[in-house]
Amino acid sequence: MSIVSPTLSDYDGNVKEKKAIADAEKKDSRRSSIALKAGNLMKSAIYLGKEHIEIQEVPIPHCTGQDVVIRNLYSSICGTDVAVYMHGPETGHKVTIGGEFGHETVSVISEVGANVTGFHVGDRVYPYPRYAKNDTRRAGTLGGFSEYIHIPEARLNHSLYLVPDEISDRLACLIEPFTVGCRAARRSAPKSGEKAMVFGAGTIGIAAAVALKYFGVDKVMICDLSDFRLDIVSRLGFAVCNTQKEDWAKKAQDYFGTAPSLSGSTADIDIMIDAAGAQTILELFMKAGKIESRFVSVAVNNALRQVDLLHMTYSQKSIIGSGGYMPEDVRDVMDIMKSGKWNLESIITHEYSICELEEAIKTASDTTRALNVVIKF
């Protein structure tokens, strides 16, 4: 396992030049070493229930005429992976006991079926979880924690997207969670010059904040309870607030200015995005959201909630749901990552091998010392 400490030195020109050379060498290495492993066996993480994962040796999948096989390079650990590990089935994605899981990954094509067009061995690809297995029920159990994945009836810009050379392998495994955050930002109908607050400094919350800026929002503040995560967020250029330690109303009004609400003067925030899932966040929007403000829920939260519809009517507020992503989000996220405007790789704080997956998931669950945790194959 390695711990990556984010620093501002990543912006140094010499570092960028060295990184570009290293990335080019990696690309050449990928293209010259795609052969399947000796013995035709791969490591695959099999989910066996609460706090129980087994790394098994299973056969490497092979192609039929319309299929491809991809070899994973990096996979990121999602909050839903943490949930099903810590709390058991039915608490995150629908992960089957006895099955593989993981869905945030970047891969390289290792085998191409005879009838497949648009792909070549050595191409670096992002497997789009909704369609990669030709079964939307497998979106959360793609096989990101296995060394290889079989992609049936592979189609370009449908089940697989080519990853631009400007995006590193490590950053590319964050495409999937960034599309979730990008979708949440898009669902808020952002307008140029507006102001927004994001609750939750995890990967999806950060992705939403970045996408809001990409869409033209003027000011964005990110709120969380973890100083460790907020420090990383501040290095990306965002205003931050620890709502457990700071006076939220004062800090928000100082940063955004004031605007009217049904209950009086409040912070001038057009958009609030909940990427944390705490019950108090919706309550805060109902109490302190300005007239005509919008609230987007992207956090996984299955609790039933009561909403004062009369208040919503007179305040002309909106509550909007956002789940998953669409192809347009993939395109926007790749453009964001290619731009290099934000040091997005800095949110990766830990890196493990597939054999250390359980330790990696436990680390990912600790918001006081970890942000994004990845598996390197």
Handedness of CA 376, 89, 85, 344 (dihedral sign): positive
The pLDDT confidence band at residue 32, using thresholds 50, 70 and 90, is very low
In a domain, 326, yes or no: no
pLDDT tens digits for 207-240? Answer: 999 999 999 999 999 999 999 999 999 999 999 9
Q: Are strands 195-199 and 219-224 parallel, antiparallel or unpaired?
A: parallel
pLDDT at 8 over 90: no
Q: Do 134 and 268 lie in a common domain?
A: no
Torsional class of 167: left (φ above 0), alpha (ψ -120 to 50), beta (otherwise): beta
Task: Select from 163, 159, 169 the least CA-distant residue to 139.
Answer: 159
In a domain, 328, yes or no: no
**pTM of the predicted structure, to 2 decimals:** 0.90
pLDDT at 152 over 50: yes
The pLDDT confidence band at residue 13, using thresholds 50, 70 and 90, is very low
Report the number of distinct structural domains present in the chain: 2
Identify the pLDDT of residue 67. 97
Q: Do 18 and 71 lie in a common domain?
A: yes
In a domain, 119, yes or no: yes
In a domain, 232, yes or no: yes
In a domain, 249, yes or no: yes
Identify the pLDDT of residue 1. 72
Q: Do 149 and 286 lie in a common domain?
A: no
The pLDDT confidence band at residue 27, using thresholds 50, 70 and 90, is low
Identify the pLDDT of residue 77. 98
Q: Is 149 helix (H, G, I), strand (E, B) or coil?
A: strand
CB–CB of 66/134 below 8 Å? no
CB–CB of 56/43 below 8 Å? yes
Q: Do 60 and 199 lie in a common domain?
A: no
Q: Do 20 and 102 lie in a common domain?
A: yes
More confident residue, 11 or 263: 263
In a domain, 97, yes or no: yes
312: containing domain: 178-321
Q: Do 237 and 354 lie in a common domain?
A: no
Task: Give percent above pLDDT 70 in the chain.
Answer: 89
Q: Do 145 and 191 lie in a common domain?
A: no
Q: Do 183 and 281 lie in a common domain?
A: yes
Q: Do 89 and 237 lie in a common domain?
A: no
Q: Are strands 348-352 and 318-321 parallel, antiparallel or unpaired?
A: unpaired
Q: Do 9 and 112 lie in a common domain?
A: yes
List the CATH number of the domain containing 12.
Answer: 3.90.180.10
List the CATH number of the domain containing 199.
Answer: 3.40.50.720
Q: What is the DSSP letter of 355?
A: G
The pair of structure tokens assigned to 195 is: 């102001």
CB–CB of 34/107 below 8 Å? no
Q: Do 86 and 194 lie in a common domain?
A: no
Q: Do 129 and 266 lie in a common domain?
A: no
In a domain, 98, yes or no: yes
CA dist., res. 27 & res. 42, Å (int):
22
Identify the pLDDT of residue 95. 87
pLDDT tens digits for 333-347? Answer: 999 999 999 999 999
Identify the pLDDT of residue 61. 95
In a domain, 50, yes or no: yes
Q: Is 308 helix (H, G, I), strand (E, B) or coil?
A: coil
Task: Select from 187, 240, 194 the least CA-distant residue to 217.
Answer: 194
